[in-house]
Amino acid sequence: MLKDLYDEVVKWQGKLMAWALGLEEFEDPALQNRTAADGEIAPVGSPEKTIMGKFSKFGYLPCKYLEARRIFQFVTGKYFATLDGVQQSYDQAMNLLILDRADKYKARYSAPFLMLMLGKDQTCYDFLKWYITVAPTYDFSNVDLPFLDIHNADPLESVDYIVRACPEEMDLSVLVAMYLIKMRLNLDQARIHAAVDEAMEKGNVTSQTLSDLTNANPIDMKNVLLTSSIVATNPFLHDYRALEPAQRQCQKLHVLIHCRNKHFFRMLFDKKRQWDREFLPNFLQNPTARGSEDEAYYVVKEAILAFAISDGALEITKLANRSLEGLQGEE
């Protein structure tokens, strides 16, 4: 299967090169039309250089090439989910965003979950914050503008800026990935709390050493399995009191996701629905309405592995679902 998809990418890449070089070998007039929708003419040469950043504006062939690569990227990450497969899928997704900033084929839906599977929590947070705060007013046709240029944003900051940014208009995948980042922080906070409590019971921690866990090293952190690379790679955050409680942030995001698409959390735990390998091509050709079951199904397919490897995330989310259902029942 993967070889067939790769061959499809190579086929369209060859046709794309011939198109960019001006070779007149296509019978279909649509394939010879090298004019973009806004009147731009594709310069002759390597298409990945001459129309970099705005592939989808140049008609049939560039779009078919992007679509073939997107399907190959998706399948590589989902059905061959080894570490190498996930890394290759991530590299492909980011390359697709470089080729086509407007992202006609929704590589941005895959990228954040692949980042989390690879332990790139900080990179993922920066990526999501850019799409939340910059993308709504960004000119995707101007390739001279900085792109995805937020770095080292504070992942512990309040989610109020998301609430203010009109979440009902955001990509569902952005909200779900942000929820999972905060959930991973929340889970690590709970694990560190438990480690501190255990150390205090054993007398390994006093009120003096508790103020500087990293330098005093009263806790054997080797026995604390951390999920979020933000915590695992930042010694300062091993002081559990330095972590802003993420539980309330998770609760806010949980509600935002449910309001954005009421089907998502139900479908996240729906084991009866079979994965359809033809769903992605159909979804790309027929974008679904916001709030629909198909949209929820698609984002679940992108997110499910990242949830599964985030130890405890599915269990906590299931409890949050019950709490939300209880509140709705009271209303």
Mark out the alpha helices in 217-270 (DSSP H runs).
229-232, 247-260, 264-268
Amino acid at 160: D
Helix (H, G, I), strand (E, B) or coil at 249: helix
Q: Where are the domains positioned within the chain?
A: 2-105, 160-330
| pTM for this predicted structure | 0.81
Helix (H, G, I), strand (E, B) or coil at 53: strand
pLDDT digit string, tens, across residues 223-257 = 556 677 776 666 555 555 545 567 888 999 999 99
Higher pLDDT, 160 or 50: 160
- Is the pLDDT at 110 greater than 90? The verdict is yes
- Is the pLDDT at 111 greater than 80? The verdict is yes
Q: Which of 78, 142, 147 is nearest to 113 (CA)?
A: 78
Query: Phi/psi at 116 (nearest 5 deg)?
Result: -65, -35
Contact 205, 218 (CB under 8 A): yes
Angle ∠(98,99,103) on CA atoms, nearest 5: 85
Q: Say which DSSP state 145 is in.
A: S
The pLDDT value given to residue 237: 57
Mean pLDDT of 89-115: 93
Contact 56, 102 (CB under 8 A): yes
